[in-house]
Chains A and B, each alone.
Chain A
Amino acid sequence: MATAFEKHPTGTAWVVEDRDSFRVARTTFTDQDVLERERAAIFDRCWLYIGHESELPNPNDFVRRAVGGRDLVFNRDRKGDYHAFFNSCPHRGAAVVREDKGSAISFKCFYHGWSFNNNGAFATRFAAGTYPEDFNKDGCANLVAVPRLAGYAGFWFVNFDANAESLEDYLAGAKDFLQVVADHGADGMEIVGGIQEYSVRANWKLLVENSFDGYHAHETHSTYLEYLVDAIGGPAELFPSRGNISRAYDLGNGHAVIEGPAPWGRPVAQWIPAWGEDGREEIAAIYAELEKRLGKERAEQVAYGNRNLLIFPNLVINDIMAITVRTFYPEQPDYMNVNSWALAPKGEARHFRKRRLDNFLEFLGPGGFATPDDVEALESCQRSYRNRAAAGWNDISRGMLRDEPLADDEAQMRAFWREWDRRVAKAG
C-alpha cells in the first residue's frame, strides 16, 4: 500500500538530502563510471520489463526484445509455458532469432544450423562420432535461459540475478497500481501494434524524472495545452468526489506514482464534448460496467484519475489520455534508447480505439505535440551539464515541506533517487 513520504537524511557525494532540501550531483548524468556502476547495481539486479502477456497470445509465439543491454527472446513453448532466452547460439554465438516477432515451434541458428525446441532444448542429431556420446549431458548445447522470469497482472519481467527477491516483493506498493491499469478492460488488456522506437541524447534518468514530472507541463507543453482547449471543446467535467485529488505516492523500492484529475478525455471512461452526445452515452455505459465489476471507489479511480507510474528503474506506465508502456536504456551516459507501446482494453469499440490512439500520438512520441519538446528539454539539460564543475547540482526539493506532496511536487523523484542512491552509491 502507498505510504507517505518520510524525510531521512543521507550524505553521499551524489545525492544530498537534509530536512528541507534535496540535491543530486550532475555528475550522475555525465560520468562513465556512474553508468558502469548502474549496470552492475541496477540493470544486473533489478526486475526489468520484457513484455505484456497479450504479445504472446498463443503457444509458440515469440518476440525479440532488448532488455538491460541484452538481446533476448521472450516466448511460449508448445505447452504454452513462458520462457526468456539469451538470443545467442550456444555453439558460436550467432542470433537464433532475427525476426521481431512470430510463431515458431523451434529456433534454428542460421550460421551452422544448430536447432532448438522452443523450450530451449538442443534438438540437432549429429553423425555418430562427431561429438561424445554424452554431449549436452550438462545442458551446454541448450539455449541459455535468463535466471529469473515472472509476470504480474499481465506484465512480464526478467531478472539477471538468480538470487533476487521475488517479483511480487520487489514490486511492493506498485502492485496495486499495476492492477488498476489491468482492471481497465473487462476482458483484459492488450498491446496495440506499432512500437514507437526512438532515442534521446540525454541520460536515462532525465527521462525517469520527466515521465512523472507534473511541474513542467504548463511551461514545456503550452502549445499542447492550447491545442487541447481547442480540440476537445473545453476541459473534461471533473468528477466532484475525485476532481481535486492530486497526490504523489512512494510505493516502496524506488517505485512511485503521481495521481491527479484528468482534464482530457479518457476512453475509459471520461467524456469530453468533442465526442458528442452519442459518445456521452457510450462513456456512461463503459463507466457502468466498471462500477459493476470493480465497485464505486475503484471504478472512479480507473475512470477519472490520471496516473504516471514508475516501476524502478525504467518501466513507465502513463495512464493518461491513453495508456503508454515505455522502457528506456542507457547506451552511453548521454544517450538512451526508448521503446513505447500503447496498451488498451481488449474488445474496445473501434472508434474508441481510434480516439485512444489519436490521444496517444497527438501528445506522445517523436511526432506528437509534446514529446519532442520534452526531448529538447532533456537534451538541453544534458548539454548544460558540461558546466557541472561550476554549476554542479540539481534541486529536487519541491514540496518537501508538505506532509502530503502534490502531483506537481517532486516527492516521486526523491523516491527514485533514494533507491538509486541505495543501490548505486551505497553499494560501494
Chain B
Amino acid sequence: MATIERAGAPADRQGGTPTRSEIEDFLYLEAALLDEWKLDEWLALFAEGATYDVPTTRADDDADSADQLFLVADDYARLQHRVRRLKKPGAHSEWPRSRTAHSISNVRIVEAEGDEVLVRSVFVTYRAKNDVTDCYFGHHFHRIRVQADGLRILSKRSMLDMSSLRPHGRVSIIV
C-alpha cells in the first residue's frame, strides 16, 4: 500500500496563490494532527512569528487583544509554550487526554494577494472526557502563505459562535 504524503502541500510548490483544494487539504491536515495529538507537527504548520488567538464569545471578527480581554492571544513564543505545556502530565485538564474530532467545512478564500491568502472556514469540534462530550463551533480565519517547503499559517483566529462558553469550562485543546 502506498504511503500517503502528510505534507500540507507538494514539496516542490513554486509559490503563487494556493487553490482552495490545496487549502482544504491543509486545513484537514491541521485538524487531523490535533485529533491525533501530534502537537509538534501541528506547531510546525505555523510560520515563525505566527499568532493564534481566540476572542471571547460574541466578540467582533476584528476584535483587538490590546483593547479587550480574549480567551487566547498567543504570540509565537506563547504558542510554543502552549504546545509544550499540553504535552506534560501537569496539564491536568488534558491528562489523561481528551478525545476530539475537529471538523472543518465551508472553506472559502476571502482574500488573495501574491502567495498569501486569507481563508474563512467553519469548524465544529467535539471534545470528550470524563463521560462528558462538549461541542464547540464557530469560524476560523487562517492567513496562509506558500513557502518553498509547503503552506504555513501566518495567523489563526478562531471565533466561537456560541452565545457563551457554556457548558464548557475550557478551551484547552486548541479549537
- Chain A residues in the interface with B (C-beta under 8 A): 100, 192-201, 220, 222-224, 226-227, 230-231, 335, 337, 341-342, 350-351, 353-354, 357-358, 360-362, 365-367, 369, 371-373, 375-377, 379, 383
Determine if A369 and B63 form an interchain contact, defined as CB atoms under 8 angstroms apart: no
Cα distance, A139 to B61, chains bound together (Å): 44
Nearest chain A CB to B132 CB, angstrom units: 7
Determine if A230 and B66 form an interchain contact, defined as CB atoms under 8 angstroms apart: no
Determine if B165 and A227 form an interchain contact, defined as CB atoms under 8 angstroms apart: no
Nearest chain A CB to B85 CB, angstrom units: 4
Determine if B166 and A342 form an interchain contact, defined as CB atoms under 8 angstroms apart: no
Determine if B167 and A357 form an interchain contact, defined as CB atoms under 8 angstroms apart: no
Minimal Cβ-Cβ distance residue in A for B94: A372
Cα distance, A223 to B88, chains bound together (Å): 8
4 smallest A-B Cβ distances: which pairs?
A194-B69, A372-B93, A372-B170, A194-B68
Cα distance, A138 to B171, chains bound together (Å): 51
Contact of B66 among A195, A196, A198, A354 (CB under 8 A): A354
Determine if A367 and B71 form an interchain contact, defined as CB atoms under 8 angstroms apart: yes
Determine if A193 and B69 form an interchain contact, defined as CB atoms under 8 angstroms apart: yes
- B81 touches A (CB below 8 Å): yes
Nearest chain B CB to A331 CB, angstrom units: 9
Cα distance, A226 to B71, chains bound together (Å): 20
Minimal Cβ-Cβ distance residue in B for A365: B71
Determine if B54 and A200 form an interchain contact, defined as CB atoms under 8 angstroms apart: no
Given A198-B168, A201-B169, decide whether A367 and B72 contact each other with a Cβ distance below 8 A.
yes
**What are the interface flags for B76-92 relative to A under an 8 Å C-beta threshold, 1 for contact and 0 otherwise?**
01100110010010111
- B118 touches A (CB below 8 Å): no
Minimal Cβ-Cβ distance residue in B for A362: B78
Cα distance, A371 to B170, chains bound together (Å): 8
User: Known contacts A192-B68, A194-B70, A369-B81; can you find 12 more A-B pairs with CB under 8 A?
Assistant: A198-B169, A226-B85, A227-B85, A335-B167, A342-B69, A354-B66, A362-B78, A366-B170, A367-B72, A367-B172, A371-B170, A375-B170
Minimal Cβ-Cβ distance residue in A for B129: A376
Nearest chain A CB to B65 CB, angstrom units: 6
- Chain B residues in the interface with A (C-beta under 8 A): 54-59, 63, 65-73, 77-78, 81-82, 85, 88, 90-94, 130, 132, 164-172
Nearest chain A CB to B131 CB, angstrom units: 9
Given A192-B67, A354-B66, A361-B69, decide whether A199 and B167 contact each other with a Cβ distance below 8 A.
yes
A-B contact count (CB 8 A): 124
Minimal Cβ-Cβ distance residue in A for B65: A357
Cα distance, A231 to B166, chains bound together (Å): 31
- Residues of chain A within 8 A of B70, CB atoms compared: 194, 357, 361, 367
Nearest chain A CB to B91 CB, angstrom units: 5
Cα distance, A375 to B171, chains bound together (Å): 11
- Residues of chain B within 8 A of A198, CB atoms compared: 164-166, 168-170
Cα distance, A231 to B57, chains bound together (Å): 27
Minimal Cβ-Cβ distance residue in A for B74: A362
Cα distance, A395 to B88, chains bound together (Å): 29
Determine if B90 and A222 form an interchain contact, defined as CB atoms under 8 angstroms apart: yes
- Residues of chain B within 8 A of A383, CB atoms compared: 130
Determine if B130 and A373 form an interchain contact, defined as CB atoms under 8 angstroms apart: no
Minimal Cβ-Cβ distance residue in B for A337: B166
Nearest chain A CB to B67 CB, angstrom units: 7
Given A357-B70, A367-B72, decide whether A194 and B59 contact each other with a Cβ distance below 8 A.
yes
Contact of A192 among B69, B77, B85 (CB under 8 A): B69
Given A192-B69, A376-B92, A379-B130, decide whether A200 and B169 contact each other with a Cβ distance below 8 A.
yes
Determine if B91 and A196 form an interchain contact, defined as CB atoms under 8 angstroms apart: no
Minimal Cβ-Cβ distance residue in B for A196: B56
- Residues of chain B within 8 A of A201, CB atoms compared: 132, 167, 169
Contact of B169 among A222, A354, A360, A379 (CB under 8 A): A379
Determine if A375 and B56 form an interchain contact, defined as CB atoms under 8 angstroms apart: no
Cα distance, A223 to B91, chains bound together (Å): 6
11 CB < 8 A contacts A-B: A194-B70, A197-B56, A222-B88, A337-B166, A357-B66, A357-B68, A365-B71, A366-B168, A366-B172, A371-B170, A372-B94
